């Protein structure tokens, strides 16, 4: 078998831009280049586009437009929320976060700890879910709790409504970068005070995201400068990116059911083929209670396997998969998410994350499993 196909199964790292999204963006890069803060016609046109996008995206998550602030992506939104709550807004002096958060939550929390703020880490069970009883012990009005909606490595969905019920007095943030557009996401239903979104995981452009800040919260900007975004995030609004985010979000939600059905079908096929053809495969992603597009596996003989070699071997066959969060790839650290789920360091190191999209085909899945069989064979000899 030589590399006869190019099969992209790394959609949790990023997705290709939807051509319709690109088309919608182009006029805002070419003729409509105005600054949304300018008073003249060029500026006013840009302002209308930004506010229409804000209105539509806010409605898609059950928020009011004034509760949505555009950022450069998920990393900035997480940083701004955690740091502003402690420093600029002085709302909290403790940050509690789950052991399986993305580094875009863990690292700002650790930076706050170095500045003297209290932090606590919520453990997870072997399925990757936080324990609401543990959350209940940390319920306090001057505490910010950050628990992601769904995990980027395993796809596991966190029991956010139970977390909210267990900590009614705390401020609650959720990183919904991976879940928005894959499962229903509604800020009011979940009862969160803050949320993080990013466009490039849903076939939108890179470099744009948003933070939801519940109305009534006196949020002070973490990034200072102009008075954009009602003084909550300084910087000239990237109109084309915002319009791209709007169209990508609209399509993701409008087509949610069909996309989910398609991704579930492909994930089931992948799981079945892995069970049939790959001896010793272990699933880190449960069949229920996970995103429809992620299948994370490891192996019973993980100590004999090298995770990076597996990924590079798959790449030689033209298959893109990942061994955890793309941001940590190359650092050779076993995944903190899988370690928190009590996998051994060897099992965490040998893990492979397949993340699909509705655009993948059954042939892609068959080809990927065949490639894995061939990559594993010499390693197991």
Contacts to ligand PLP by CB under 6 A: 73-75, 102, 104, 148, 152, 175, 177-178, 198, 209, 325
Is 89 or 154 the residue whose CB approaches ligand PLP more closely? Answer: 154
Contacts of residue 174, Cβ cutoff 8 Å, sequence gap at least 6: 146, 147, 148, 149, 158, 160, 190, 192, 194, 195, 196
Is 137 or 333 the residue whose CB approaches ligand PLP more closely? Answer: 333
310-338 as b/e, with b when 16 or more CB fall inside 10 Å? Answer: bbebbeebbbbbbbbbeebeeeeebbbbb
**C-alpha–C-alpha distance, residues 41 and 336, integer Å:** 51
The distance of closest approach from Cβ of residue 98 to ligand PLP in the complex, given in angstroms and rounded to an integer, is 11
Is 109 or 281 the residue whose CB approaches ligand PLP more closely? Answer: 109
Contacts of residue 12, Cβ cutoff 8 Å, sequence gap at least 6: 152, 153, 155, 178, 201, 293, 294, 322, 326, 353, 355
The question of whether 327 is a catalytic residue gets the answer yes
The distance of closest approach from Cβ of residue 75 to ligand PLP in the complex, given in angstroms and rounded to an integer, is 3
Q: Are 331 and 239 within 8 A, CB to CB? A: no
Is 74 or 307 the residue whose CB approaches ligand PLP more closely? Answer: 74
The Cα angle at residue 182 between residues 72 and 173, in degrees rounded to 5: 55
The distance of closest approach from Cβ of residue 340 to ligand PLP in the complex, given in angstroms and rounded to an integer, is 15
Q: How many CA atoms lie within 13 A of 374 on its CB side?
A: 17
Is 80 or 376 the residue whose CB approaches ligand PLP more closely? Answer: 80
The distance of closest approach from Cβ of residue 300 to ligand PLP in the complex, given in angstroms and rounded to an integer, is 28
Q: Are 315 and 271 within 8 A, CB to CB? A: no
The distance of closest approach from Cβ of residue 216 to ligand PLP in the complex, given in angstroms and rounded to an integer, is 25
> Which DSSP symbol is given to 146?
E
**Tally of residues, the chain:** 381
Is 111 or 269 the residue whose CB approaches ligand PLP more closely? Answer: 111
The distance of closest approach from Cβ of residue 182 to ligand PLP in the complex, given in angstroms and rounded to an integer, is 12
Q: Are 146 and 96 within 8 A, CB to CB? A: yes
Residue closest to ligand PLP when measured from CB atoms? 74
Q: How many CA atoms lie within 13 A of 17 on its CB side?
A: 17
Q: Are 34 and 43 within 8 A, CB to CB? A: yes
Determine which one of 85, 86, 275, 327 is catalytic: 327
Catalytic residues: 327
């Amino acid at each position: 078998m030589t590399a006869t196909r190019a099969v992209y199964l790394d959609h949790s790292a990023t997705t290709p831009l939807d051509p319709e999204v690109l088309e919608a963006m182009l006029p805002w890069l070419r003729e409509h280049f105005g600054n949304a803060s300018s008073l003249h016609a060029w500026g006013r046109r840009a302002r209308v586009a930004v506010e229409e996008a804000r209105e539509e995206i806010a409605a898609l998550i059950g928020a009011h437009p004034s509760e949505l602030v555009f950022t450069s992506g998920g990393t900035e939104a997480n940083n701004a929320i955690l740091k502003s709550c402690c420093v600029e807004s002085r709302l909290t002096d403790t940050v509690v976060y789950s052991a399986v958060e993305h580094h875009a939550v863990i690292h700002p929390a650790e930076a706050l700890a170095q500045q003297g703020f209290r932090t606590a880490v919520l453990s997870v069970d072997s399925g990757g879910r936080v324990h609401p009883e543990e959350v209940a012990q940390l319920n306090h009005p001057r505490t910010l709790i950050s628990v992601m909606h769904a995990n980027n490595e395993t796809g596991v969905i966190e029991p956010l409504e139970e977390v909210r019920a267990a900590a009614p007095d705390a401020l609650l943030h959720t990183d919904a970068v991976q879940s928005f557009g894959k499962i229903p996401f509604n800020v009011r239903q979940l009862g969160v005070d803050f949320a993080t979104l990013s466009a490039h995981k849903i076939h939108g452009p890179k470099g744009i995201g948003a933070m939801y800040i519940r109305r009534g919260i006196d949020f002070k900007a973490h990034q200072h400068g102009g008075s954009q975004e009602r003084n909550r995030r300084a910087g000239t609004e990237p109109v084309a990116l915002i319009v791209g985010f709007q169209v990508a979000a609209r399509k993701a939600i409008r087509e949610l059911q069909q996309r989910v059905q398609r991704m579930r079908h492909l994930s089931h096929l992948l799981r079945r083929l892995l069970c049939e053809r790959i001896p010793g495969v272990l699933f880190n992603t449960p069949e229920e209670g996970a995103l429809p597009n992620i299948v994370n596996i490891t192996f019973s003989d993980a100590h004999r396997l090298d995770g990076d070699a597996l990924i590079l071997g798959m790449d030689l066959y033209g298959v893109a998969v990942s061994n955890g969060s793309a941001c940590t790839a190359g650092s050779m650290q076993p995944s903190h998410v899988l370690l928190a789920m009590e996998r051994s360091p060897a099992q965490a190191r040998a893990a492979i994350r397949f993340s699909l999209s509705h655009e993948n085909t059954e042939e892609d899945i068959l080809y990927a499993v065949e490639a894995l069989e061939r990559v594993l064979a010499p390693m197991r000899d």
